[in-house]
A and B are shown apart, each in its own frame.
Chain A
């Protein structure tokens, strides 16, 4: 499960606090220290009182009310006009779309035992489209990637996944682009949309999967809609951002030439922001792919199903195989859309002599593709991927051997690390959070929010704390908070070490980047089994899983930050006699401070998005509550409340760290 919040816009939105801020920062560490000392003192006195803890099977009135609403929807869905004329219609349209795409590339259709377009046709189309919108290098990558999917013996599963991804992205963009344009043009609409987008991205998918099947039934429509809810926000945000970044003077110039609002939108704003909008599409595709394994829990076909089924019998090899296919597909789609977004620019820069040939070549390519599609429609050898997928089984075998070796040889070391971190850091911190009275922790959070992020962040924190108490999940939320903070600290440690290394050396960057991409896209379900073997069913396993998922983002952001430190500054420091260590600690890291806070923000949000996965491997608390709500009817309301608590934690952290980032960069 990913949360792809894009970077908070650092330019333009900075609040005018700079002049006063510089004087205030002197006292900030001191004030934080005072707050923490006060907390420790009061904790020692009040330990164990008013902790608002709730046993695993206990419910509050709010939870019961959620249950009742859920039940009454289920009971009335066949008679309620809202269902008959609204939800059922939506379902019909989306189901038709999903079924159409599936019959095209993945499922048998219209009396044929195979889909309309076979593997050769799909590979042809993918290659041609990548070449036409990108360049020949990504076309080569795309063809190789898709062929690899077939060689793994997972062609049909991959196409099911691609079909689900394509139809969700299509539906998502249908809403996201207009909403994004609107949010780009209107400040007020932007303000209204932002909390909704936060909500859509941080609410754990497990929470709304079961209700979705209630509204839209089991099958393609529900899977598509679940994916759309999760994948649309990045496109909305990035489109709005793109529209906003078009220079005002350009728009004014167009208006002074007599362009109407509509004209300036279609002739100026949209064309000028096209490149960024394509990046939004890219992010939406990535988010949709991240949903593949989760959607498999409501019977969405494809690679996710293979991963989930393999997990049941602890078959690491097979799960890894399917996970690898998801990674390959994600990398291909990512590179192709990225190339598409920069194509025009590149074409203009390189005075390619083939430019004149482009049109005829495009035509010829289209003809070849058409022939390939025809062949794959007609002949079995071109429709069904040949071979037994031998590559897949040897990769699975290798993955199995590796994990067994790691489990056998490393579990002694890992247990030591686990116990040291759990007893030395996690347990004391968790008991500080869960055994203090709720109002004390709440007050500390609000005070920290106000000191780090300013008055407005303080107010947001206060609201979040109040709502957290209202969900009835306070104690579990604090347990989750403890693990989240520890995981984020580890993420930042890794982020600084590897990020600085990457930022200082282009070679390291090139070597590390693909594995960072893979770690982000590989479904967490795949590495749960080996991690369980190494660390057991503990909170620590959940923390490790979260770090694997969240560290790449932090590393990339810090790497960029370090690289962007002006070379002249570094040279000046070198000539002044600084050694490498001094340059890093005295020049590069301080100057990349904005990147560090941004990395903390993204690290925290990404860690939070793994809370539910943590619930599957022994982390308990909110993650377990959400999973339990998905599994048991009488816990539905509690699961929903736990999901809301995760959203509240996310919003709270996001607002504090963003405000803090604005203040440090100002």
Chain B
């Protein structure tokens, strides 16, 4: 027993020595370097925390990256990004957990529920992006059969679009269930020999187009702009009967193309009244489809972090950014 205790003591002493040695040659301490940025602290007192929803598509990620970068570096806000689907992000307006949604695609149902109904959200103006929804084919197909971009020729090619999923008809591929879509009604009302097949995710849709262009396969489906993928594979839009105001009033009887959406920003009612400089930034934030595609491409294709992508764009477009924060 005594011998054991001695060993134990020796071991403990050894440990203590080891510990002290390590401490002595330690190096930089946690918190040393960060105290240097104390200047940001009083800046953030004005702005406070800015809760920004990030909806799951790369275009939105680009919006959020740039707004967050400007809010952090120019306005010294503490930005908290929250990765959420649209529905849940809007829910967060009422509970104070989300301050802003930067890229809203129509969603009249949500506007009705949260803006006019619960009054927890308000509109904050357009982003400047034009949202275009429609049916697209891969470029090789539009080149090989130029007349395919007119909807009235689609039935001629229907058999070519047949797949194992389409039950003998041509396949029209739809994507994520949160998309705004009238495709089932369109197929019926335009008397097309097609069946809408739900891929179920944007990933599945993009992969289908990517493969179709590479292997010269026949694919037609739902897609939208602005989208980074179009800079990799420039899909060609199929012209449906032109949109006229009111032609989409009855969801069952729609037989016309989608309208061009003016994408807009929604903020929580509380945030709009808070006087935060971040709110002014969100309200003034405005850019083009090309701008967004550049940043989205940095993120999706060049695999930059969203911070690095935003930094690169902001430094190249200082004039635009300055207009937002004046």
Interface residues, chain A, with chain B CB atoms under 8 Å away? 55-57, 71, 74-75, 77-78, 111-114, 118, 209-210, 213-214, 217-219, 296-299, 305, 308-309, 311-315, 318, 356-357, 360, 363-364, 367-368, 371, 374-375, 377-381, 383, 407, 411, 418-419, 422-423, 427, 528-529, 532-533, 536-540, 615-620, 623-624, 627-628, 630-635
Contact A539 B110, CB 8 Å, known A368-B15, A379-B26: no
- Report B-chain residues with C-beta under 8 Å of the C-beta of A111: 31
- Report B-chain residues with C-beta under 8 Å of the C-beta of A74: 91, 94, 118
Give Cα A219 to B95, complex, Å.
12
In angstroms, how far is the closest chain A Cβ from the Cβ of B105?
Answer: 12
- Report A-chain residues with C-beta under 8 Å of the C-beta of B23: 374-375, 378
Q: Specify which of A217, A378, A537 is in contact with B204 (CB 8 Å cutoff).
A: A537
Contact A633 B164, CB 8 Å, known A217-B97, A314-B207: no
In angstroms, how far is the closest chain B Cβ from the Cβ of A493?
Answer: 21
Give Cα A616 to B198, complex, Å.
9
Q: Is B197 an interface residue (CB 8 A)?
A: yes
A218 B118 Cβ-Cβ under 8 A: no
In angstroms, how far is the closest chain B Cβ from the Cβ of A154?
Answer: 14
- Report B-chain residues with C-beta under 8 Å of the C-beta of A533: 207, 210-211
- Report B-chain residues with C-beta under 8 Å of the C-beta of A630: 85, 87
- Report A-chain residues with C-beta under 8 Å of the C-beta of B86: 631
Closest to A427 in B: B164
Q: Is B266 an interface residue (CB 8 A)?
A: no
Q: Specify which of A299, A360, A627 is in contact with B8 (CB 8 Å cutoff).
A: A360
Q: Report whether over half of chain A's contact residues are helix, strand or loop; otherwise say mixed.
A: helix
- Report A-chain residues with C-beta under 8 Å of the C-beta of B98: 218
8 residue pairs from A and B, CB less than 8 Å apart: A114-B30, A217-B95, A312-B203, A364-B15, A371-B18, A536-B211, A537-B173, A618-B165
Contact A620 B30, CB 8 Å, known A74-B94, A77-B95, A627-B177: no
Closest to A315 in B: B303
In angstroms, how far is the closest chain B Cβ from the Cβ of A530?
Answer: 9
Give Cα A75 to B95, complex, Å.
11
Residue picked from B18, B165, B178, B198, most chain A C-beta under 10 Å: B198
B200 A623 Cβ-Cβ under 8 A: yes
Q: Specify which of A113, A305, A423, A635 is in contact with B164 (CB 8 Å cutoff).
A: A423
A379 B208 Cβ-Cβ under 8 A: no
Interface residues, chain B, with chain A CB atoms under 8 Å away? 4, 7-8, 11-12, 15-16, 18-19, 22-23, 26-34, 56-58, 61, 82-88, 91-92, 94-95, 97-98, 109-110, 113, 117-118, 163-165, 173, 176-178, 184, 196-208, 210-211, 215, 228, 251, 299-301, 303
Contact A299 B95, CB 8 Å, known A315-B303, A411-B211, A536-B163: no
- Report A-chain residues with C-beta under 8 Å of the C-beta of B85: 297, 630-631
- Report A-chain residues with C-beta under 8 Å of the C-beta of B34: 113
- Report B-chain residues with C-beta under 8 Å of the C-beta of A539: 164-165
B204 A631 Cβ-Cβ under 8 A: no
Our count of residue pairs bridging A and B at CB distance below 8 angstroms stands at 213
B30 A210 Cβ-Cβ under 8 A: no
B30 A618 Cβ-Cβ under 8 A: no
A617 B197 Cβ-Cβ under 8 A: no
- Report B-chain residues with C-beta under 8 Å of the C-beta of A113: 30-31, 33-34
Give Cα A616 to B203, complex, Å.
9
Contact A57 B163, CB 8 Å, known A532-B204, A618-B198: no
A218 B109 Cβ-Cβ under 8 A: no
Contact A380 B58, CB 8 Å, known A218-B95, A305-B83, A371-B15: no
In angstroms, how far is the closest chain B Cβ from the Cβ of A297?
Answer: 7
A631 B177 Cβ-Cβ under 8 A: yes
- Report B-chain residues with C-beta under 8 Å of the C-beta of A313: 58, 228, 299-301, 303
B12 A367 Cβ-Cβ under 8 A: yes
Give Cα A380 to B206, complex, Å.
42
Contact A616 B204, CB 8 Å, known A74-B94, A77-B95, A375-B23: yes
B207 A532 Cβ-Cβ under 8 A: yes
Contact A56 B184, CB 8 Å, known A298-B88, A379-B29, A633-B87: yes
A624 B198 Cβ-Cβ under 8 A: yes
- Report B-chain residues with C-beta under 8 Å of the C-beta of A57: 184, 251
In angstroms, how far is the closest chain A Cβ from the Cβ of B127?
Answer: 19
Closest 3 A/B residue pairs (Cβ) = A631-B178, A628-B177, A537-B199
- Report A-chain residues with C-beta under 8 Å of the C-beta of B22: 371, 375
B91 A213 Cβ-Cβ under 8 A: yes
Question: 9 new A-B pairs (CB below 8 Å) besides A218-B92, A314-B210?
Answer: A71-B113, A75-B118, A213-B88, A213-B92, A363-B11, A367-B12, A381-B26, A539-B165, A618-B197
Q: Specify which of A118, A312, A374, A422 is in contact with B56 (CB 8 Å cutoff).
A: A312
- Report B-chain residues with C-beta under 8 Å of the C-beta of A532: 203-204, 207-208
B204 A379 Cβ-Cβ under 8 A: no
